[in-house]
């Protein structure tokens, strides 16, 4: 946000009394520490069921706090997803990383200054805020509002060092620290003991999996060779998560030594997951990717291995060991944090996400449909997961097949029901289109306000009711 324009102030003033209705957790200054593990899928944290003990320090936060079992990213890649988490809006509205169809090169659109981020709101409440991202994508507008920013590559230890050093300058002020870890995304520079940490003894010749997917894309391993490659790739990936977790443990101790541990809400999450050959066959048969990536990586599909992300919250007033089963979206993150510090859930004049503060004590939130969109590689796609767990994925390219899944009976999305249930597919597609059609759009809309017609359209598809955003009145 360039400056709080009159319209925006008007909208915020108008909605504040109506939305600042959530409970304030406790008195005294509160810090917020957000730890984002880039490209880490949920099921690779041990607190989400990984048989390998990858995340003992994160597990401790989960034991002390609330774990969201079904948190969804809005997009399967960094810029669009993080911008959604920071603004409380879908990519269609905030405009970051929104491409025309079938992008293969060029620079993505940045998060425009007219968007309002949670860091900007925290500043107005006296917060000192610090952002250290090892992923330079955040440079494209996502750091607006932070007092101190560094967005160069670095390992987890360096990121944590920066965080502990920076937060010193907050003194007695409330602080917000955002740390973005890339070690699991780019495992190339992982220390050797973590490359080897989960290696299976006697698993055969080592493959160059610690250098990402290059060797796989080049060689297209199948059979035993693919088993060797994928086994090693997954071991390295878990090793990288373990490396980040160890650094998070050191961060915790550092904050404790500075007397900030008990006053801090910790949020641990990922921006999206990662594919490990989950839908290789479907992608090879149906999808186009200019890089030739099928079944691995991220950024190009909307299957659950990319959309479901870990989300753990711990800190003052948060119920120890609680688990939330209801699907939630990362657009709910900023409204929740602002609500927790007593500012109400509104981020900008228009905020699609809702506060999950009530779930800090383990209360299940009202179920809403979850939506996602992708726009990094391949053709434009959108998805809806409805409140009865039916999921529809639509491609904008008619040559690509759509998918319909019953996530209740088929959580791994193996049985496409599109042909068997054409009416259900059509119904979901219509609901999804109504939702996206109703969204305020970047480029043609000032997201600091929302008109009543838009609000009504969103309400009709399950948004903006009860604790959700309220529209500004027409002038
Ligand atoms: Zn990412």
Tokens of 140: 């494209």
CA of 107 from ligand 1 middle (Å) equals: 16
Tens digit of pLDDT for each residue in 217-263?
Answer: 888 889 988 888 888 899 999 999 999 999 999 999 999 999 999 99
Given a cut of 50, whether residue 6 has pLDDT beyond it is: no
**pLDDT per position as a tens digit, 355-385:** 999 999 999 999 999 999 977 788 889 999 9
Residue 68 has a CB neighbour count (10 Å cut-off) of 25
How many Cα neighbours within 13 Å face the side chain of 102?
A: 8
- Mean pLDDT across 453-471: 55
Q: Are 372 and 331 in contact (CB under 8 A)?
A: no
CA 249 to centroid of ligand 1, rounded, Å: 22
Ligand 1 center to 74 CA (angstroms): 12
How many angstroms does the Cα of residue 204 sit away from the middle of ligand 1? 31
**Beta bridge mates, 384:** 371, 392
CA of 86 to the centre of ligand 1 (A): 14
Domain ranges of the chain: 31-369
User: What are the start-end ranges of the E strands in 332-400?
Assistant: 370-374, 381-385, 390-395
Homologous superfamily, domain 31-369:
Alkaline Phosphatase, subunit A (3.40.720.10)
DSSP secondary structure code for residue 364 in this structure? P
Q: What is the pLDDT of residue 434?
A: 95
**3-class secondary structure for 269-286?**
ECCCCCEECCCHHHHHHH
Q: What is the pLDDT of residues 256-275, one digit of tens each?
A: 999 999 999 999 999 999 99
Quote the ligand 1 centre to 472 CA distance (angstroms): 33
Distance CA 1, CA 282 (A): 41
CB atoms within 10 A of CB 380: 17
> Residue for token digits 């490209």?
39
**C-alpha 162: how far from its chain's center?**
22
- Interval between CA 140 and ligand 1 midpoint (Å): 13
Helices 223-257, 56-64: axis angle to 10 degrees equals: 60
Confidence at residue 448, expressed as pLDDT on a 0 to 100 scale: 47
pLDDT, position 214: 80
CA gap 375, 257 in Å, rounded = 43
In angstroms, rounded to a whole number, what is the distance separating the alpha carbons of residues 114 and 121?
Answer: 13
Tell me the residue ranges of DSSP E strands in 101-146.
128-133
pLDDT in tens, 168-213: 999 999 999 999 999 999 888 899 999 989 987 766 556 676 777 8
CA 77 – ligand 1 centroid, Å: 5
The distance of Cα 2 from the centroid of its chain, to the nearest Å, equals 25
Cα-to-centroid distance, 420 and ligand 1 (Å): 35
**8 Å CB contact between 117 and 338:** no
The pLDDT tens digits for 270-306 are 999 999 999 999 999 998 887 788 999 998 899 999 9
Distances (CA, A) of 5 to 30, 116, 347, 440: 28, 11, 14, 18
Is residue 437 a contact partner of residue 430, using CB atoms and an 8 Å limit? no
End-to-end Cα spacing for the chain: 22
Helix H segments across 141-222? 156-167, 192-195, 214-219
Percent of the chain's residues with pLDDT above 70: 84
Tallying the residues shown for the chain, one arrives at 475
Q: Which of 249-263, 393-407, 436-450 has the lowest mean pLDDT?
A: 436-450
Dist. CA 193 → ligand 1 center (Å): 24
Instruction: Look up residue 77 and give its two tokens.
Output: 């890649």
Residue 212 CA, ligand 1 centroid: distance in Å: 14
The alpha carbon of 152 and the centre of ligand 1 are apart by a number of angstroms equal to 14
Q: What is the pLDDT of residue 291?
A: 78
pTM (predicted TM-score): 0.90
Q: In this predicted structure, which of 151-155, 161-165, 384-388 has the lowest mean pLDDT? A: 151-155
E strand segments, 325-420 = 328-329, 370-374, 381-385, 390-395, 403-406
Tokens of residue 103, six digits: 């992008």
DSSP 378: B
What does the block give as tokens for 211? 């250098």
- Residue 475 pLDDT exceeds 50: no
Distance 245 CA to ligand 1 centre (A): 17
**Cα of 100 from ligand 1 centre, angstroms:** 20
Tokens encoding 142: 């996502």
């Amino acid at each position: 946000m360039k400056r709080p324009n009159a319209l925006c102030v008007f909208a915020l003033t108008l909605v504040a009394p109506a939305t600042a209705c959530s409970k304030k957790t406790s008195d005294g200054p509160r810090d917020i520490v957000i730890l984002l593990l880039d490209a880490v899928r949920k099921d690779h944290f041990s607190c989400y069921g990984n048989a390998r003990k990858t995340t003992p320090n994160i597990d401790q936060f989960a034991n002390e706090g609330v774990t969201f079992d079904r948190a969804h990213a809005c997009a399967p890649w960094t810029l669009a997803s993080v911008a959604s988490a920071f603004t409380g809006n879908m990519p269609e509205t905030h405009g970051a990383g929104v491409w025309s169809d079938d992008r293969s090169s060029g620079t993505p659109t940045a998060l425009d200054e007219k968007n309002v981020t949670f860091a900007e709101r925290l500043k107005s409440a006296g917060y000192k805020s610090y952002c250290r991202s090892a992923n330079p994508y955040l440079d494209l507008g996502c750091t607006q509002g932070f007092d101190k920013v560094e967005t160069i590559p670095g390992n987890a230890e360096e990121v944590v060092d920066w965080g502990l050093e920076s937060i010193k300058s907050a003194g007695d002020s409330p602080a917000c620290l955002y740390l973005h870890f890339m070690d699991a995304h780019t495992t190339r520079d992982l220390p050797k003991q973590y490359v080897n940490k989960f290696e299976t003894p006697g698993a055969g010749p080592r493959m160059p999996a610690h250098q990402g997917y290059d060797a796989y894309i080049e060689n297209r391993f199948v059979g035993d060779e693919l088993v060797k490659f994928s086994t090693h790739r997954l071991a390295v990936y878990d090793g990288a998560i373990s490396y980040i977790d160890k650094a998070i443990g050191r961060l915790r101790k550092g904050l404790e030594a500075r007397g900030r541990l008990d006053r801090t809400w910790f949020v641990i999450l990922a921006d999206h997951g990662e594919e490990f050959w989950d839908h290789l066959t479907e992608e090879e048969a149906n999808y186009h990717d200019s890089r030739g990536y099928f079944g691995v990586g991220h950024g190009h599909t909307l299957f659950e291995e990319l959309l479901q992300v870990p989300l753990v919250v711990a800190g003052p007033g948060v119920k120890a060991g609680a688990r939330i089963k209801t699907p939630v979206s990362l657009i709910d993150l900023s409204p929740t944090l602002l609500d927790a510090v007593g500012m109400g859930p509104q981020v900008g004049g228009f905020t699609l996400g809702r506060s999950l503060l009530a779930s800090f004590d383990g209360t299940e939130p009202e179920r809403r449909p979850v939506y996602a969109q992708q726009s990094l590689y391949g053709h434009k796609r959108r998805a809806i997961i409805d409140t009865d767990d039916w999921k529809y994925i639509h491609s904008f390219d008619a040559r690509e097949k759509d998918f319909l899944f019953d996530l209740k009976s088929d959580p791994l999305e193996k049985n496409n029901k599109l042909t068997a249930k054409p009416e259900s597919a059509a119904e979901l597609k219509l609901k999804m289109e109504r939702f996206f059609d109703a969204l305020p759009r970047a480029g043609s809309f000032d997201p600091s306000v929302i008109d009543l017609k838009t609000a009504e359209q969103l309400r009709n598809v399950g948004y903006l009711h009860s604790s959700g955003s309220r529209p500004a009145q027409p002038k």
